[in-house]
Amino acid sequence: MVKYKYAIEIGGSYTKIYVKDNGFALCEPTLVAAEPTAQGYKVLALGNAAKEMLGKTNDFVEVFSPISNGQINNYEYLKELLIYFFEKLNFKRKRDNVIVLTSVAMSPKSKETFLSLMYEIGFKQVMLIPSIICSLIGAGKNISSTKTNMIVNIGGANTDIAVVNMNSIIKGASLGLGGRAVDVAIANTIAYSHGLVIGLGTSEKLKLEVGSLYLNDTLNMEVTGVDVESKLPRSYIISSSDLLPVLEPFYDEIIRTLDVTITSLPPELTSDIINNGVYFVGGMSQINGLENFLKRKFKYPFKIVEDGENVTILGAGKLLDDLKLLESITENI
């Protein structure tokens, strides 16, 4: 039986790596900073260093993610970024094996691309596992049981939904909705409503510190941006109520998809879901006020998993130590 040393979750916002016997070893932005040269684009920074350059570069430098919605947008840049990450962890080319977490709706062609990428990086064996399976494992659920579990992973680039029992996905869906889309929507809303242009880094900070689904939340934060009309720097205090019109439609769409998915299931599976509840994980499951929001708008029992932003990679880490469970999952993929 093949033993795997690494598990990697390549998100649209962050990449996370778990190392067998060492634990959760890396979490860095899935970002590349590059500028054009006569020979093509030159990489200036990767990961954390690239994020620090957001909104602070000249017009020629681009800071971007080479992957979005689970799809690789730029193969070579993603390859360079992942080599940079793995070299931090001293991986051994042609000797080490890796588990790669994938979106529930990933196409066969995309899976082939991910396999090629990881082999080019230098891994001996590569296994693709749906990230949503690892989310359930990390949440402490028995995925081998005949009892059905339903889970929602609201990540940085997309939202994965899956109904799982006996180590396999019975029904799954993937929405192109995630934290990065919310960041863009927040920046656009502030520009339109308050005439203030802010960067995505500021937008993300607002989401994390002020974002709330409580109807009367009083959280607020002062931000500095560029005035739309004067083009001069200006500060403005943004409150939770400014962000609510962005956040509510985002979660409404997720709930709508959940309702459609559940009502399409056979009664036996629906009964299990009602008994077990729907599990919410992912970075965007930690937004302030989500529990109250779901109580108002979602008609099924639910549980928001603690440390939801890391539960998926932690579940993958458990697979590194449980080869029997890993083998049973791969038989059903």
43-47 CB contacts, 8 Å cutoff, 24+ apart: 43/77, 43/80, 46/80, 46/81, 46/84, 47/15, 47/81, 47/84, 47/85
- pLDDT confidence of residue 124: 96
User: What does the pLDDT read at residue 56?
Assistant: 82
Model pLDDT, residue 39: 76
What pLDDT sits at residue 235? Answer: 96
pLDDT computed for residue 258 by the predictor: 96
- The string of DSSP codes covering 208-250 is HHT-B--TT---EEEEEEEETTT-SEEEEEEEHHHHHHHHHHH
Q: Region of 119 please: left (phi>0), alpha (psi -120 to 50) or beta.
A: alpha
- Residue-level pLDDT at 331: 81
User: Which residue spans within 112-187 are E strands per DSSP?
Assistant: 125-130, 149-154, 159-165, 168-175
* Domains defined for the chain, CATH in brackets: 6-30+65-134+312-330 (3.30.420.40), 147-176+246-304 (3.30.420.40), 179-243 (3.90.640.10)
Q: Within 13 Å and on the Cβ side, how many CA atoms surround 205?
A: 13
Q: Hey, what's the torsion of the CAs at 122, 126, 128, 133, to 10 degrees?
A: -110
Dist CA 302 CA 8 (whole Å): 27
What pLDDT is attached to residue 41?
81
Predicted confidence at residue 1, as pLDDT, reads 73
Rg of the chain's alpha carbons, rounded to an integer? 21
d(CA 103, CA 117): 16
Which one, of 10, 58, 13, 15, lies nearest residue 34 by Cα? 58
Q: At 195, is the secondary structure helix, strand, or coil?
A: coil
Contact between 46 and 84 under an 8 Å Cβ cutoff? The reply is yes
Query: What integer pLDDT is reported at residue 58 of this predicted model?
Result: 80
How much is the pLDDT for 40? 75
Give the pTM: 0.93
Averages of pLDDT over each 10 residues, the chain, 333 residues: 93 94 96 86 93 84 88 93 95 94 91 96 96 95 93 93 94 90 95 94 94 95 95 96 97 96 94 95 96 97 95 96 91 77
Task: Give Cβ neighbours of residue 313 (< 8 Å, ≥ 6 apart).
Answer: 7, 9, 16, 17, 18, 24, 101, 134, 138
pLDDT of residue 301: 97
Vertex 12: Cα angle to 262 and 176 (nearest 5): 35
Nearest 5°: the CA angle 57, 63, 64 is: 165
Q: β-pairing, 149-154 with 159-165?
A: antiparallel
Strands 233-239 and 220-227: antiparallel
pLDDT given for residue 37 in this prediction: 81
CA distances for 151 relative to 137, 165, 249, 258, angstroms? 11, 11, 20, 10
